[in-house]
Amino acid sequence: MPNPTAAMLVIGDEILSGRTRDANMHYLAGEFTKHGVDLREVRIVSDDRPAIVAALNALRDAHDLVVTSGGIGPTHDDITADCVAEAFGVGIDVRADARAVLEAHYERQGTQINEARLRMARIPDGATLIDNPVSAAPGFSLGNVHVMAGVPAIFQAMVASLLPHVTGGQPLLSQNLRIQRGEGDIAGPLRVLAEEFDDLQFGSYPFQKDGAFGANIVIRGTDGARIDAAMARLSAAFPE
Amino acid sequence: MPNPTAAMLVIGDEILSGRTRDANMHYLAGEFTKHGVDLREVRIVSDDRPAIVAALNALRDAHDLVVTSGGIGPTHDDITADCVAEAFGVGIDVRADARAVLEAHYERQGTQINEARLRMARIPDGATLIDNPVSAAPGFSLGNVHVMAGVPAIFQAMVASLLPHVTGGQPLLSQNLRIQRGEGDIAGPLRVLAEEFDDLQFGSYPFQKDGAFGANIVIRGTDGARIDAAMARLSAAFPE
């Protein structure tokens, strides 16, 4: 059976303005690769309701699962939950179980719950909560869409809550060969190898260092013995 | 006049697999912000022809300009130029001027041009070349789409070549206030301020450090005096 496919939607004005460099995408990509889920597409959009709704609908139709990051806090620019409700055509309101989780958390902290914090208990109808062990305010899953916080520590905790519920495939294995030759010298033999080992994926990632060109050739697949065989042939073609 | 809007398309298996953390998106976002171009959306797709063509067409219709990163080297997985030709419905072939640039470069290096390297002279009909001072192989512009290499040093040089040709708007200015309070305490006053200063954008980026919660509040706009005024009000509402 092929691995399930996934997409990620980052709601991130701070990434689009260049203020912040993304961390969640990189984290999720690594976790999915280990778990045998193929991350096929990432979209980053701003805090713009029509843009978020359109992206949600495009991605949930095209992939087995979708993870979103960001926009579920208490401030006026946190509109992800409302966008998910709109995308699915369901209602949204403060939900008793989410409210109880928040109230217990703030009581422990000696903090008052207020109108802004109550926004974080607004959950689309039919969704299942995702546990937030860091700051209580839950994420949620609706259909194949999993809605998570943007703060990296919370995002990572929510991914850990989600993964056991995702039926992954075989983990994608990879090996890397660093070749100190221009990609133009590597390309011909690499194409021949890629055609022969057509059950594997061959990627060529050029670099330039101290004026010299080279490339990292990455061979990926689910069968370690096949990767070993291809890597042996590649190493023989480009001895150090 | 409103600032032009832009999108970026990253062709990046290596980012989707978690192998590499993106650098070009972060760089472009910062350059566009300084230049007065609003980066509204980023998509990252794999080396998959239908996915690249669909993303190109969606983004070039929706935005004033599109920058792509990756997939224009000499190896079999470099398919961006062919995808751009398909998206625009134009032909593609080795072009004399691009070939001449490559031949001169490899002659200087004492390297042979070969079939793989010639792939980098394949340019869609009607495109204008983008100079590559690092490794010669050019990028190109076709319509509102600007096609650049994925290697960060080359990508950055190509962005520098492009920007003088892009009519930017007013640079987006920003100021940041770090507030050591939970976002739930900040949200109410912040919403009031955002409604009063509706010509500015207010972003709240929560963090968690050593068990304490806080948020960076970023106020963005093109009028520095207005940002000063809003920031003074925000600071008064949350004294240290």
| pLDDT tens profile A202-233 | 988 888 777 778 888 999 988 999 999 999 99
Q: Does B188 touch chain A (CB under 8 A)?
A: yes
A16 chain-B contacts, CB cut-off 8 A: 29, 39-42
Q: Where in chain A is the domain with CATH 3.30.70.600?
A: 173-237
What is the mean pLDDT of the segment spanning A154-170? 90
What is the mean pLDDT of the segment spanning B20-28? 93
Identify any residues that bridge with B93 across adjacent strands, giving them in sequence order: B123
For chain B, percent of residues with pLDDT exceeding 70: 100
Cα of B184 to nearest chain A Cα, Å: 5
pLDDT, position B179: 93
pLDDT, position B207: 81
- C-alpha to C-alpha distance for B150 and B157, rounded to whole angstroms: 11
pLDDT, position A83: 98
- Residue B240: pLDDT above 80? no
CB contact under 8 A, A40 and B46: yes
* Mean residue pLDDT across chain B: 92
Q: Does B76 touch chain A (CB under 8 A)?
A: yes
- C-alpha to C-alpha distance for B192 and B97, rounded to whole angstroms: 58
A14 chain-B contacts, CB cut-off 8 A: 203, 205, 218
Residue bearing the bigger pLDDT, A102 or A168: A102
What is the mean pLDDT of the segment spanning B169-192? 89
Q: Where in chain B is the domain with CATH 3.40.980.10?
A: 5-165
Judge contact between B76 and A187, C-beta under 8 A.
yes
| CATH fit for domain A5-165, picks 2.40.128.20, 3.40.190.10, 1.10.357.10, 3.40.980.10 | 3.40.980.10
Q: What band does B51 get if pLDDT is binned at 50, 70 and 90?
A: very high
- Residue B212: pLDDT above 90? no
Nearest CA-CA partner of B236 in B191, B177, B184, B195: B177
**Region at A139 (left for phi over 0; alpha for psi -120 to 50; beta for the rest):** beta
- C-alpha to C-alpha distance for B75 and A33, rounded to whole angstroms: 24
What is the tens place of the pLDDT at every residue in B154-166? 999 999 999 988 8
- Residue A134: pLDDT above 90? no
Q: What is the 3-state secondary structure (H, E, C) of A70-93?
A: CCCCCCCCCCHHHHHHHHHCCCEE
Terminal-to-terminal C-alpha distance of chain B: 38
Q: Which overall architecture, per CATH, does domain B173-237 show?
A: 2-Layer Sandwich (3.30)
